Amino acid sequence: MTTLSTEEAAALLHLNVKQVQNLARAGRLPAVRLGRKWLFPRERLEQLLGGPRERAASRTLSISARNRLRGEVLHVRVDGLMAEVVLRIGDQELVSVITRSSAERLGLRAGDVAFAVIKSTEVMVGKEGLEA
């Protein structure tokens, strides 16, 4: 039987670590407490999710946005409920502000490859040296 730490179980369930601990404490998640740590049986968690996560993770997601920019995560700054993510795309940096829970769910770390997906109803174009 494979067991997961609280952090691993939180990543599998797409939940906050504190939420996983509270659910285990309340008996709503299968878990065993060993000292100050919780251990979670992977197979039981996957059953709760409706099957092995590896199968779900192997699926691809198609989206309508065509403006997908692949880049490297330079850094992630978390402050309260929000996270600032800086991507290097070519020789440019792109800054995005997303929710903290989204950054945690994605497991964003410096050095990761990530995509910026841009969907907008309008795009402005500018050129240096011209006055309006």
- How much is the pTM? 0.49
Phi, psi of 89 (to 5 degrees): -120, 105
Mean pLDDT value across the chain: 84
53 pLDDT above the threshold of 50: no
Write the pLDDT tens digit of every residue in 59-77. Answer: 566 777 667 788 899 999 9
Phi, psi of 25 (to 5 degrees): -60, -35
Sheet bearing 67-79, strands edge to edge: 92-99, 82-89, 67-79, 113-118
Q: Which domains does the chain have, with CATH numbers?
A: 3-57 (no CATH), 67-118 (2.40.50.100)
Q: Are 92 and 78 in contact (CB under 8 A)?
A: no
Q: Are 24 and 31 in contact (CB under 8 A)?
A: yes
Nearest to 9 by CA among 111, 26, 32: 32
Both tokens of 58, joined, read 């192997």
127 pLDDT above the threshold of 80: no
Q: What angle do CA 70, 74, 79 make, to 5 degrees?
A: 115
Q: Residues 53-59: what's their mean pLDDT?
A: 51
The helix/strand/coil state of 29 is: coil
Q: Residues 107-125: what's their mean pLDDT?
A: 83
46 pLDDT above the threshold of 50: yes
